[in-house]
């Protein structure tokens, strides 16, 4: 069974803190993705990674960075959290190729106060 | 650039009524279109994709390249269809998947 896991379901952080969101997949997928999900805006791509140590900016990378040191793990980093980064964060993975489906994690609801 | 538009944020129907969730896209190449669904308290998952041309849970979607649409249809809605539905496009030029804003479907008894 396909599995994408995220380190936390709920997270509360203070403005200015450094925040790490972790994602792990067990499907040996090369491609991994980080999205944020906001009502009315759908899912917006923050960063994606083609393979280990490779990354590309998505539509809204400002204020975020990522790390992919191992194939199964893709981390999203908020260098200095701000209140406008309060959101649901979804991780996904996929085999390479645009016809393949993405498998999503359960999401992390981050609140920045 | 690729773009997906779902014009309805909320669609409310009665059980047994037909359902059509609209999706329009813009992309200059050869796109692959998907519908993803998120039931309450569950993770986002694939419902169906254009390339498979299959019916899942009674839902179908036809790619209309002339109208650049990929509307999701079901002839008789069920209460368990209530969920958030997202249309998504994957372009042949890269790996990105672009999502629409989503439509919340509520099926009333």
Nearest of A60, A17, A18, A9 to residue A35 by alpha carbon: A60
When pLDDT is cut at 50, 70 and 90, the band that residue A2 belongs to is: low
Count CB atoms within 10 A of the CB of residue B84.
Answer: 17
Rounded average pLDDT over A9-15: 96
Please judge whether B96 and A99 are an interchain contact, meaning their C-beta atoms are less than 8 angstroms apart.
no
Question: Does B55 or A3 have the greater pLDDT score?
Answer: A3
Lowest mean pLDDT among A53-62, A66-75, B16-25, B71-80: A53-62
pLDDT of residue A98: 67
List the single residue in A with minimal CA-CA distance to B101.
A42
Torsion sign (Cα): A7, A74, A87, B100 = negative
Is A101:A94 a contact under the CB 8 Å cutoff? yes
Rounded average pLDDT over B79-95: 88
Q: Count the helices and strands in chain A (H runs, E runs).
A: 0, 11
pLDDT of residue B51: 78
The DSSP symbol for A77 reads E
Residue A104 touches chain B, beta carbons under 8 Å = yes
* Integer Cα distance of B101 and B89 in angstroms: 12
pLDDT of residue B29: 82
Nearest of B87, B37, B44 to residue B62 by alpha carbon: B87
Which residues of A are less than 8 Å from B98 in CB distance? 45
List the single residue in A with minimal CA-CA distance to B87.
A42
pLDDT of residue B100: 94
* Integer Cα distance of A44 and A100 in angstroms: 19
Residue A1 has pLDDT above 70, yes or no: no
Residue B32 touches chain A, beta carbons under 8 Å = yes
**Mean of the per-residue pLDDT values for chain A?**
93
């Amino acid at each position: 069974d396909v599995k994408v896991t995220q380190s936390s379901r709920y997270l509360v952080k203070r403005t200015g803190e450094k925040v790490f969101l972790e994602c792990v997949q067990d499907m040996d997928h090369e491609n991994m993705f980080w999205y944020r999900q906001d009502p009315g805006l759908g899912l917006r791509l923050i960063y994606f990674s083609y393979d280990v140590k490779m990354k590309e900016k998505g539509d809204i990378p400002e204020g975020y960075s990522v790390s992919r040191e191992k194939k199964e793990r893709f981390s999203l980093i908020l260098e200095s959290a701000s209140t406008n980064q309060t959101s649901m964060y979804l991780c996904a993975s996929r085999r390479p190729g645009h016809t393949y489906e993405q498998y999503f994690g359960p999401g992390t609801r981050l609140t920045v106060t | 650039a690729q773009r997906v538009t779902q014009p309805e944020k909320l669609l409310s129907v009665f059980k047994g009524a037909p359902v059509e969730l609209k999706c329009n896209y813009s992309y200059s190449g050869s796109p692959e279109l998907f519908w993803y669904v998120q039931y309450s308290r569950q993770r986002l998952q694939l419902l169906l994709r254009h390339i498979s041309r299959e019916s899942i849970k009674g839902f179908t979607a036809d790619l209309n390249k002339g109208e650049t649409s990929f509307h999701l249809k079901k002839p008789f809605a069920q209460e368990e269809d209530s969920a958030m539905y997202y249309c998504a496009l994957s372009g042949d030029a890269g790996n990105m998947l672009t999502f629409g804003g989503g439509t919340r479907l509520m099926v009333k008894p």
